[in-house]
Amino acid sequence: MLAIIGGSGLTQLSNLEVSRREVARTPYGEPSGALTFGLLAGAQVVFLARHGHGHAIPPHKVNYRANLWALQAHGATRIVSVASVGGIRADLAPGDIVIPHQIIDYTWGRKSTYFDGEDGRVVHVDFTEPYDAALRMRLIAAAAKTGIALKDGAIYAATQGPRLETAAEIDRFERDGADVVGMTGMPEAVLARELGLPYAAINLVSNHAAGRGDSRTAIRFERLEAVQREAMGRIRGMLERLEE
Ligand code: HPA
């Protein structure tokens, strides 16, 4: 079963025919909210709002371990993450949809592994390709079927938040090779890998990153919501075609 983790702007899937909601518990605590099960264009899916209902959990406080564990324990076999990002690369503008292919992790202090050594085992997972190639291709195919433009490939910089970045930090991320910046891509991606769950992401560029484009002197939060509202319609359409 496909699991969809929705971020800012996608706290619910309005096109989901909900069959049940379940509050899950895990050895790592509680996930961000109830798991919502239902049919999306005839396919069984489970949805979880990453920041909780009412968007109350900031990126550094999300219980990523509980979220992924609960989804797998309730039948998820692959994960699509939907997340807003700031655009660093010059060709990325607010409203663009990007399927990232790589990650640079700048987060710190998050609980980022199930393999904490507590059971006497040291486990290193391969993470050369952080996103699942087949699932990425399905996202790209779903967009093509829906006639939705997207950009295939971006290096995602995962930043700690909850504050936005300084212009100099964005310059540094760009020198490092990053194309987009967001606050939730890690450790979510690596925890999925540790659980053996194929994982891919749909990134919505909701603003130019700090110091770029119309964010040259400041990021104008009042604009983000409108960009997200419009784009999430397109993303919902894409998700409907994913299981065909
Ligand atoms: N920076 C970090 N995270 C974000 C941004 C940004 O500019 N926009 C949306 N999520």
Question: 220-236: per-residue pLDDT in tens?
Answer: 888 888 899 899 999 99
159 CA: nearest ligand 1 atom: 2
87 CA: nearest ligand 1 atom: 7
- What are the two backbone dihedrals, phi and then psi, of residue 27, each rounded to the nearest 5 degrees? -60, -10
Query: 151-152 and 97-99 as β-strands: parallel, antiparallel, unpaired?
Result: parallel
Q: What is the pLDDT of residue 234?
A: 93
Alpha-carbon span 236 to 64, nearest angstrom? 23
Average pLDDT over every residue of 130-148: 96
Number of domains forming the structure of the chain: 1
Q: What is the pLDDT of residue 128?
A: 98
More confident of the two residues 135 and 225: 135
| Contact by Cβ (8 Å): 205, 95 | yes
219 CA: nearest ligand 1 atom: 7
Beta bridge partners of 85: 205
- Looking at residue 202, its amino acid is I
Peptide bond into 94 cis (omega under 30): no
Pocket of ligand 1 (CB under 6 A): 84-86, 159, 164-165, 181-183, 206-207, 209
CATH number of the domain bearing residue 134:
3.40.50.1580
User: Is 0.85 surpassed by the pTM of this model?
Assistant: yes
Q: Which of 10, 165, 220 to mutate to test the pocket of ligand 1 (most atoms within 8 A of CB)?
A: 165
Burial of residue 181, with CB atoms counted within 10 A of its CB: 0-12 exposed, 13-18 middle, 19 or more buried: buried
Average pLDDT over every residue of 105-132: 95
CA-nearest residue, atom 6 of ligand 1: 86
Average pLDDT over every residue of 112-140: 95
Residue 108's domain comprises: 2-241
The SS3 call for residue 74 is coil
182 CA: nearest ligand 1 atom: 3
- Looking at residue 168, its amino acid is A
Lowest mean pLDDT among 6-20, 152-166, 174-188: 6-20
Q: What is the pLDDT of residue 49?
A: 95
Mean pLDDT (the chain) is 95
pLDDT grade for 31, boundaries at 50, 70 and 90: very high
- pLDDT, tens only, 50-109: 999 877 999 999 999 999 999 999 999 999 999 999 999 999 999 999 999 999 999 999
| Contact by Cβ (8 Å): 59, 106 | no
| Contact by Cβ (8 Å): 164, 219 | yes
- What are the two backbone dihedrals, phi and then psi, of residue 102, each rounded to the nearest 5 degrees? -145, 165
